[in-house]
Amino acid sequence: MRKSALITGSSRGIGRATAFALAEQGYHLYLTCQNSMEQLKQVQHEITSRFPVICQIYECDMGNHEAVKKLFSEIEQLTLLVNNAGRSYIGLLSEMDVNDWENLMHTNLDSVFFTCKYAIPLFLHQGYGRIINISSVWGNVGASMEAAYSASKGGVNALTKALARELAPSGIPVNAVAFGMIDTDMNRCFSEEERAAIQEEIPADRIASPEEAAQMICKLAETPSYLTGQILTFDGGWT
């Protein structure tokens, strides 16, 4: 069976690095972004220049059901779903605008429901498929000033565990990776002093690269299907 992966939020960071890592392993790719199509076109160009794979790109709001439904109407075969699209919010929950809450939940949690809803029938039809959800250590333990983000990732963790139970009889593993501090644009909101303070708290004494995160995702994609329903923490011993 031809290996193919849908990676949401692929124009930068973990999604971009994962696209390159899977392309190197021979995966044909479906990549999405919400509003950074020029960056995603560059990713597509670099991948197809380096690897003998098909790479299709889409501008799609993964938190919009109709947009995701349309996206899947163009996908006939899929073996791996990587739910990476996400956004953050830093601030007091009491001061958070309702629209910011809704947008964050649409992107971080609703999107996982939408993609799984349409990927599962493909997986069942072909008798093979894997789901990897990108979570955060804050989904495990919560973070002050990031209550909404923590809640969204906690929801991803719970959905991962429950869906794994549903799909285990069909041999379709569902797992998540709870990442710690990764050197991505999302975490560049922190000052150098703040980043240094966080690094001091990490036993590994450094912030991980997107390429290391991608390596973790690729290894998880190749594990035996008996590994399912797990939230694997990748944080240098931080939490």
Please indicate whether residue 149 is annotated as part of the active site: yes
For strand 80-83 and strand 174-179, is the pairing parallel, antiparallel, or unpaired? Answer: unpaired
Dihedral angle over CA of 81, 60, 177, 189, nearest 10: 160
In angstroms, rounded to a whole number, what is the distance separating the alpha carbons of residues 202 and 199? 5
Q: Output the CA–CA distances (angstroms, integers) from residue 211 to 13, 14, 97, 139, 215, in the order listed.
A: 9, 7, 34, 22, 6
- Looking at the DSSP bridge assignments, the partners of residue 55 are 29
Of 135, 48, 43, 127, give the one whose Cα is nearest residue 84.
135
Tally Cβ neighbours within 10 Å of residue 168: 15
Catalytic-labelled residue, pool 27, 30, 89, 149: 149
The residues annotated as belonging to the active site are 149
